[in-house]
Structure 1
Amino acid sequence: MSNPISNRQPAIILVSPQMGENIGATARVMANFGLKDLRIINPRDGWPNDKADTMSAGAFEWGVEAKVFDTLEAGLADLTYVLATTARPRGMEKPVFNAEEGIGALMSRPDVGVGVMFGAEKAGLLNEDVALADGILTYPVDRSFSSLNLAQAVGVFAHSWAARTLEGEAKKEFAGVGDSADREQLVRMFEHFEDELDRAGFFFPAEKRPVMTQNLRNAFIRAQWTNQEVQTFRGAVKALALGRGKARIDRKD
């Protein structure tokens, strides 16, 4: 089965990451949101890294492919459009995007390699790193506390990417089971319920019955019933009616 996400995925580029745990956590959140191209530039603790593998929770086995490069230039060599993530103004004349705008900029280039750079844990991207980017991607963080964990920063981007590419698939999985009830089924349910309410003396005084019925039907319509829900509700109405009848017989006895 083919991946529903576009074949042209952005590369996630970690520039001089320090901790294997953060690389592993990055791979994990990439897998969560369907991203596979992980590029690691000059990792401080080397590669492969046991701590990264443990923290990834199986993301590498799932399909996240980690490639290691000695230099940023080498890691970007096959890419045509790249964004640099930063929370600090850099004094450079580059377009600045929020996450949604950045996703749009990346997706508007379907025929080229694209990527997003993330800096090291201690200080983020260097100015010379940002200089290699086509644009800047920044998040609406509180400027008095703007430092994000590396994997968290990747997670914000990955979520935004998936919201544009995978959200429809996710919603399908959570869709209600069963078909929606048609109007005939609903009307029969309304009439069944209203008949029992009549027997219980609910519609009083009689002149208010049309308004009361209308209010009930409007409330039911808003619920967007399924076939199964209609059947369950009618079964409940029937059970209550039978129970009420039994109570009347008991009182007569």
Structure 2
Amino acid sequence: MPTDTPQPAFVLVRPQMGENIGAAARAMWNFGLDRMRLVAPRDGWPNPKAVAMASGAGRLLDEAQLTADVAEAVADCHFVMATTARARGLTKPVFSPERAMQVAAERIAAGERVAVLFGPERAGLENEDIAKANAIINVPVNPDFPSLNLAQCVLLTGYEWRRAQGAITPERVDMARADWAEQIEIEKLADHYEARLSEAGFFFPEHKAEGMRLNLRNMWSRMPLTRADVQTLHGVLRQMVRWKDRGD
């Protein structure tokens, strides 16, 4: 059975190749989507080539709803969006994929059912299909090569759905079993380097010494150091001093 997670239905309209249906299922499941609807697949249904391509997402194919036309596929929906890379001469709201999935999330949170139409591989959705939609999702592709593979378009839209759920962290650091150094540890590292550099005559000429020390302190504070980093830098300096002493 489909998950209970509120989400849009992805409607593949007259898909031509079983492989692309399977790849679309895989792309959907990558982003936690499992409501697939199929409108008149060219090669019939079920299709063993779709199952082979789904690679672990075969459950979506088993539970996919098969319909004869777009009207039947979206009959229970309150809001429908149609993906297309081309202007169609139809007066409709046009969303970027990002905004479209934000709108979908808002409407679904309000209790509405939302569907997204994806056209067949060769030519995309027909105007008759798009006329049944409330809005268009326009993918900002290269105008000289606007054709998107079906599964690619599903993947892109699924990713934006995931983003709209706040499930993607824009930036993070994988700590790999490390801890960030505390300020006292960085302060001691700065003291260590300053002392050894002073002994080596680094802070010269004298009238520039204060500014040089300040720049070094500022450099340490900008560096995101782990405790292991601090220990390594202490070790580097100790070994350089030992090496110098042996050379004497």
TM range (shorter): 0.7 to 0.9
Segment drifting more, 125-134 vs 60-69: 60-69
Superposed, which structure 2 residues align to 1:66-215 within 5 Å?
Answer: 66-109=64-107, 110=109, 111-165=111-165, 166-168=167-169, 171=171, 174-177=173-176, 178-215=178-215
Tell me how many residue pairs correspond in the alignment. Answer: 242
Say whether the 8 Å CA contact 2:9–2:37 is kept in structure 1.
Answer: yes
Q: In the alignment, which residue of structure 2 is the partner of 1:242? A: 242
With over 3 angstroms needed to count, the CA separation of the structure-2 counterparts of 1:99 and 1:64, relative to structure 1, is farther
With over 3 angstroms needed to count, the CA separation of the structure-2 counterparts of 1:90 and 1:194, relative to structure 1, is same
Counterpart amino acid of 1:47? Answer: W
What does the per-residue CA deviation read over 1:46-102, in whole Å, with 9 as the maximum and x for residues that have no partner? 222222122222223599953322222232133221110112223322111111221
Task: Name the CA distance, whole Å, in 1 between partners of 2:59 and 2:240.
Answer: 55
Say whether the 8 Å CA contact 1:95–1:136 is kept in structure 2.
Answer: yes
Q: Which runs of 5+ in 1 are unaligned?
A: 249-253
Q: Which runs of 5+ in 2 are unaligned?
A: none
Deviation, structure 1 residue 144: 2.8
| TM-score, normalised with respect to structure 2 | 0.87
Superposed, which structure 2 residues align to 1:42-53 within 5 Å?
Answer: 42-53=40-51
Supply the RMSD in Å over aligned alpha carbons.
2.4
Say whether the 8 Å CA contact 1:96–1:137 is kept in structure 2.
Answer: yes
Segment drifting more, 113-122 vs 178-187: 178-187
| TM-score, normalised with respect to structure 1 | 0.85
Deviation, structure 1 residue 131: 1.6
Segment drifting more, 10-19 vs 154-163: 154-163
Say whether the 8 Å CA contact 1:36–1:64 is kept in structure 2.
Answer: no
Deviation, structure 1 residue 240: 2.5
Say whether the 8 Å CA contact 1:35–1:64 is kept in structure 2.
Answer: no
